[in-house]
Amino acid sequence: MTATTDGSTGALPPRAASASESTIGTNSTTGTTPRTTGAKGGVPTASGTRDAATRAMLRATDFLLARQDAQGWWKGDLETNVTMDAEDLLLRQFLGIRDERTTRASALFIRGEQREDGTWATFHGGPGELSTTIEAYVALRLAGDAPDAPHMAKASAWVRARGGIASARVFTRIWLALFGWWKWEDLPELPPELIYFPTWFPLNIYDFGCWARQTIVPLTIVSAKRPVRPAPFSLDELHVDPDRPNPPRPLAPLGTWDGAFQRLDRAMHRVRKVVPRRLRRAAMNSAARWIVERQENDGCWGGIQPPAVYSVIALYLLGYDLEHPVMRAGLQSLDRFAVWREDGARMIEACQSPVWDTCLATIALADAGLPADHPQLVKAADWMLGEQVVRPGDWSVRRPGLPPGGWAFEFHNDNYPDTDDTAEVVLALRRVAHHDPERMERAIGRGVAWNLGMQSKNGAWGAFDVDNTSRFPNRLPFCDFGEVIDPPSADVTAHVVEMLAVEGLAHDPRTRRGIEWLLAEQEEDGSWFGRWGVNYVYGTGSVVPALAAAGLPGSHPALRRAVAWLESVQNEDGGWGEDLRSYHEVAEWSGRGESTASQTAWALMALLAAGEQDSKAVERGISWLAATQREDGSWDEPQFTGTGFPWDFSINYHLYRQVFPLTALGRYVHGEPFSKLSGATGGSPARTEGH
């Protein structure tokens, strides 16, 4: 990867230029001969568009089929930002296990991501980010890069100009405190006694989203222990005033929530000195048991890297040596997050997405016309059936009587299945003619029942928990980065509604409540907010197909507003794109950005579901997909179109650029998928007129 300077000023992107004449490559299945599109300026006629779409669809099908694992799953790289790589090196330094090969490979990747202004961004083309730049800089210092080297001096000058380490987020300063580069007493207090708060009490651990919960519990131990390992060098160059590296932060007014919680934190610092040692030791041991009980079979925690890192540190501080089975398995699991590249660089994935990628690939291939009994689809279904979570997890704290039956995102994550994956897996399984239909029906029935049981009070669905909407966690001084709660979102609710409609439950009162919520959540401009994908294009691309599947006609006012919005933000080149800054500066960036394959596909999926098959907007979008496809059947997409935390943590799912364009092309060539689902395993879509 090369450094980029795009986006450092935050200027609005220009509309992309019109597509030039494009060559379509040979398809390995049909043997069609390469030819250029014959329309003026490279935009084909209607019949030419369909021909080009068919060729692109077949090539994309071949590309995706060739990348299935022998066990039946698909998984693309999950790219985030260099804090994953920096913190991996800091962990190894803290534990005394950092080696030269890993350090050299990680540093190679981190250097390659540095922008020309000396900074590191959190997404492709994004602005430099202070905490990310600090962590990357420290990692390169560990790797031996001299502070006066040009690339390092440029980075440290930029950091100082923006307030230095004192202005970094709490998580960054925690990592620095581990080595004495920051004072523990100048960090928010996080007492391990939180583990004892009952579920009805404010700020109990189940008030936090599952990802935050898994991180906070081990960090209570770290906060209580306040360890310091000897720093291998100073970081004076990252302070505005090295003689006063920990300047006090001003308090917010007392009458505000921020001011109240800041004063509560100061009180907790005083309480720390008088907490009985026996109580604190018992709380840390209870937290440790909580952590160990949630370790997955592969040694990880929740299938995501940050909780695993902090859990390893916490247990190490409590005396678990590196050869303890829990620690050994945990460290081995972290190694599996590493992606070694051809140039010798080592990138750390924050998470791995095989269930998500596999269900989306199955849907794409089926909608592209692959037979329902195709061996590779059956193999994918077999693998997905084996991944169903059949034991209770943390979600059962709020739903103790609900039988399990969901699917998680990762290879191993039995504690935290999610409603989004569950809905999409059911939609994928319905597209496959499996050799054991009874097993399929049992699995689908459990999944549907579990998702119905996870509906929140307002009629919508969050990803991992029910009614995870407390206002308090976001107010804590500790929580200055990313989302820490999991409220219902339009994209997740839409996927669940679509699944319920396909299962014949469009008129079920629970489905209708979800539909009512979605209609109420539509923005004034006709779009929907996207929580787990970027952003309004993703939200709209999720909701419109769901409402259509549930029976709303294309003439429904909500769908007409959505169509009008999508048409209004289509780029000049025919594609769609949206920059992550739409989470930060909505008015300027909503639906705006360089065209990407995945976002163009989301827009097309919505337009096709709304009955716009013959519209000019669809024709131009399909033409853009066909024209930008590479000869091997893939698309290039360096942009980040996935979301972990809106704005704060962004994701480039490397398979998004394949599965969503193929889905859109297949639905354009073959028509909407809902009417053909009953031909697979017996699910019958429920199409109704109006709402």
Query: If DSSP states are collapsed to H, E and C, what string results for 296-359?
Result: CCCCCECCEHHHHHHHHHHHHHCCCCCCCHHHHHHHHHHHCCEEECCCCCEEECCECCHHHHHH
Cβ atoms of 121 and 158 within 8 Å: the answer is no
* Between 664 and 304, residue with greater pLDDT: 664
pTM value? 0.89
pLDDT over 60 (residue 687): no
Judging by beta carbons within 10 Å of its beta carbon (0-12, 13-18, 19+), is residue 267 exposed, middle or buried? exposed
Return the higher-pLDDT residue of 149 and 268.
149
Q: Is the pLDDT of residue 402 over 50?
A: yes
Mean pLDDT over residues 377-405, rounded?
A: 97
Is residue 26 pLDDT above 70, yes or no? no
pLDDT at 266: 82
Q: Indicate the pLDDT class of residue 258, thresholds 50, 70 and 90.
A: confident
State the Cα–Cα distance between residues 462 and 488, nearest whole angstrom: 4
79-348 fold: Glycosyltransferase (1.50.10)
Taking Cα atoms as reference points, which of 577, 84, 95, 651 lies closest to residue 357?
Answer: 651
Catalytic sites, residue numbers: 420
Q: How far apart are CA 123 and CA 79, in angstroms?
A: 9
Q: Which helix (H) or strand (E) holds 361?
A: helix 354-367
HSE-up (13 A, CA, CB side) for residue 687:
12
Does residue 5 have a pLDDT over 70? no
User: Is domain 46-76+353-679 given the CATH code 1.50.10.20 in the classification?
Assistant: yes
Confidence of residue 118 (pLDDT cuts 50, 70, 90): very high
Share of the chain above pLDDT 90, in %: 81
State the pLDDT confidence band at 673, using cuts at 50, 70 and 90.
low
Q: Residue 319 is which amino acid?
A: G
Neighbours of 331 (CB within 10 A): 17
Give 189 or 575, the one with higher predicted confidence. 575
Task: Report how far residue 28's alpha carbon sits from residue 176's, in angstroms, rounded to the nearest whole number.
Answer: 54
Helices (H) and strands (E) in the chain, counts: 23, 7
Q: What is the average pLDDT score of the chain?
A: 89
Give dist(CA 92, CA 85) in Å, integer: 11
Instruction: Judge contact between 350 and 84, C-beta under 8 A.
Output: yes
How far lies 659's CA from each of 23, 198, 360, 475, in Å? 22, 43, 6, 38
* CATH 1.50.10.20 residue spans of the chain: 46-76+353-679, 79-348
Give the type of residue at 409.
Answer: F
- The average pLDDT across 604-618 equals 97
**Mean per-residue pLDDT, 288-311:** 93
Three-state secondary-structure class, residue 474: helix
Span 202-225, average pLDDT: 95
Q: What is the dihedral of CA 630, 634, 640, 644, to 10 degrees?
A: 180
Residue 35 has pLDDT above 50, yes or no: no
Determine the residue type at 614: D
**Residue 347, beta-bridge partner list:** 339
* Pairing mode, strands 78-79 and 649-653: antiparallel
Question: Looking at residues 648-655, what average pLDDT do you find?
Answer: 95
CA dihedral 215, 218, 221, 222 (to 10 degrees): -60
Q: Model confidence at 674, in pLDDT bands (50, 70, 90)?
A: very low
